[in-house]
Amino acid sequence: MKEPVLSAAGKPSGYFALRILLLPTWGPPVAVRYETDGAHGTYRSVMLSGQGGYDPGKFKAGKTVPLTQGEIAALHLSLDQSGYWSLPQKDDVMGMDGDELVMETIQNGEHRVLVRWTPSANARERKLERLVSFYTSEFKKAGFWPQSNE
């Protein structure tokens, strides 16, 4: 995907980044990334051509565009409402075939990574309904939804 390592090192105090990566066993890997220094922001989406659980493939689709202040504010609000910040970074759910969701943020100089195996499975019981709605919406905006296994 040619995605950079997210790091707070050397970044201004207002720097914020969010990356959402979905690696399905049966479907193309997809990611969206937002970065802002407080005043300016960018959005990048990328989809690969392969099957995430076997051969991720090569670049198939994507774009990079600037963000408006309104888009940045809406992103922060949606992320806050998703429950992301209050969820434990990992849970004990694993499987063979499914999706692996990796969400990374950098905010206030801190790097946080949340990992979930097939978050849509038993989302209510796992308290992931709002998170699933959030990332699904982000992939729909990128034109990368529906996934073949959802």
Flag whether 127 is in a domain: yes
pLDDT digits over 53-65, tens only? 788 889 899 999 9
Question: Is residue 49 over pLDDT 60?
Answer: yes
Determine, yes or no, domain membership for 9: no
Domain boundaries, position 66: 16-142
Strand partners for 125: none
In the numeric block, which tokens belong to residue 133?
């709605």
Question: Other C-beta atoms within 10 Å of 82: how many?
Answer: 21
H-only helix segments in 8-150: 69-81, 129-142
Residue 10 counted as domain residue: no
Give the total number of structural domains in the chain.
1
Mean confidence (pLDDT) of the chain:
91
Say if 6 falls within a structural domain: no
We report the CATH number of the domain holding residue 41 as: 3.30.1560
How sure is the predictor about 108, in pLDDT bands with cuts at 50, 70 and 90? very high
Task: Give the global pTM.
Answer: 0.91
Q: 126 near 117, Cβ under 8 Å?
A: no
Strands 41-48, 30-36: parallel, antiparallel or unpaired by DSSP?
Answer: antiparallel
Per residue in 71-87, pLDDT (tens digit) is: 999 999 999 999 999 99
Residue 5 falls within a domain, yes or no?
no
Cα torsion angle, 108, 129, 133, 30, sign:
positive
Please indicate, yes or no, if residue 36 is contained in any of the structural domains. yes
In a domain, 76, yes or no: yes
Q: What mean pLDDT is predicted for residues 91-117?
A: 92
Q: Is residue 148 part of a domain?
A: no
Mean pLDDT of 123-136: 96
Output the 3-class SS for 126-144: CCCHHHHHHHHHHHHHHCC
- Model confidence over 136-146: pLDDT tens digits? 999 999 988 86
